[in-house]
Each structure stands twice: as structure tokens, then as C-alpha cells.
Structure 1
Amino acid sequence: MLTGCGALPRHDPEVTFYANGKTIRIEPTIYCDLEGSNCAEKNPPGTLRVPPGEVVQISVDGQLADGLWEVVCVYENAARVQEGCTSPLLGKGENYTYTLAVPDDSDQLLRIEVHEAAGAVLETGQPLMRGSWVVDVTR
């Protein structure tokens, strides 16, 4: 019996998060086509325990690293005020990892998002988001 050789189905890119001795690998919560349209909600956010002041190692697969991506976070400072952080744009085949660190040892991460840029740009010149990988942080 002969079977045709077809391409393997392409899966959505995955992102790995490591903190506090635990690793999780998640698929996107939202993923769109290359132009940033035809978006679909895909998977629920992941959950990771990260104590105050701890860093999170983030690793993306080659499909993401070849394009542009960034890390966005929300954390609570010592005064219990929520603040945000954003990494520089990463990727272009050069960045497969990023270390997310909060400014102070008492700061508590609340949420981490990895955003993949689409092939289109907004009127502001910023890239349109193609995909989002979300991790809700527990203490």
C-alpha cells in the first residue's frame, strides 16, 4: 500500500516559562493569521507559582524567535500598587530566551504575557499583535 508524503500539520508555537523549580510549556491563548486578523481564542492562560522578587526564564520556539516578540508583565510593588513592564522587541532569529525580573525583591509578579508581532503595523508604527501566550502567576 502506498501513502502520500504530506507535510506534517504545523502546530501553534509554544512558549516555555521557568520559575521556582517548575517549568510550564503553553500554546497561545489568542492566535491570528500573519496579518493579525482572523484571530481565534485557543487555550486558557497557564499558571505558574512565582515568589516575590523571583525571576522567570522565558524561552520561545524557533517559529516565534524568527519573527518579533516581546514580554509584558503586571506586578504589584511593596505599596500594593500594580505596575507594568515591557521588554524591548526581541527575535529576528537572535533571541530565543528572555529573563524577566521585577525591579525590587518585594515585588510580586501577577501576570506575564508574550506577544508575537504580525506582519502588519498599526498607524503608530508599532507592530500589530499576532499571538499572545498568557501566564497567571500565583504566590
Structure 2
Amino acid sequence: MSPTFSIRNGTQQKIPAVPFLRIKEKVLGKKYDLSLVFIDETRMRTLNTRYRNKKTSTDILSFPLDTLSGEMFISMNDVQKKAKKFSLSTKQYLGFLFIHGLLHLKGLDHGRTMERQENSWCRTFSIPSPNT
């Protein structure tokens, strides 16, 4: 079976046109099977409580299922808030955040190595990074 990349919008919000497939294939490769789901703050809070024991919403959660598949959940409400905080457009911050989540799926944790990779991939796709 060939790898799939699915995007589901579980919100009423419009998702900005980010080249998700192109970014995913460059960062994780064409063989990686990824499900990307946009959810509201309430659902994100539920997931964050269940999997991280944090009773707040967050902008992104990434779950590697195995070496070639994973799931990613993004809260657009949180994306919009963080975009404002970093003086970026929603589309710009969403592009950065998607890269951030993909790097978590590759096994990277927060820190200097991850920031360097984020900055490098952001340059590749002409996306401003809040790290700089």
C-alpha cells in the first residue's frame, strides 16, 4: 500500500494555503504516512490533558505511530494567538508550526538542535521563523 497524507479540518475555520505535502515530503520523505487534523481548543485541551497531563490547550501535538507513520493535531485558535505574539501572519506561523511538528515526528525534542533544523527548513520554504 502506498503512503498517504490526509488533512482533515474539524473546525469551522478556513485553513491557510500552506504547501503541507511539499514540506512533509522534504522533511519526512515521500514514504511517511501522515494524518494532519485541525481541531478546536476544547478538543486540543482534551488531548493535551490525556497525553501530556496538561489541562490547557496547545497549538500542536504530534504522535509518531512508528518509524514511517504519525498523526498531528493543530489548534487553529492557538495558531492565531501565537502568530500575533510573534508578529507573524497565521499562514506564516502555521507553516513554521507544521515544520516544528514534523521534526518532533522525526524524534527531535525542544532545544538548540531542533531550533537549527527549524530555521534551516523555514529558510528552505521561505517561512519566517519565530526563533530568529
Instruction: Check whether TM > 0.5.
Output: no
TM-score norm. by structure 1 comes to 0.29
Q: Which has the higher helix share?
A: 2
TM-score norm. by structure 2 comes to 0.30
Decide which structure has the larger Cα Rg and report it.
1
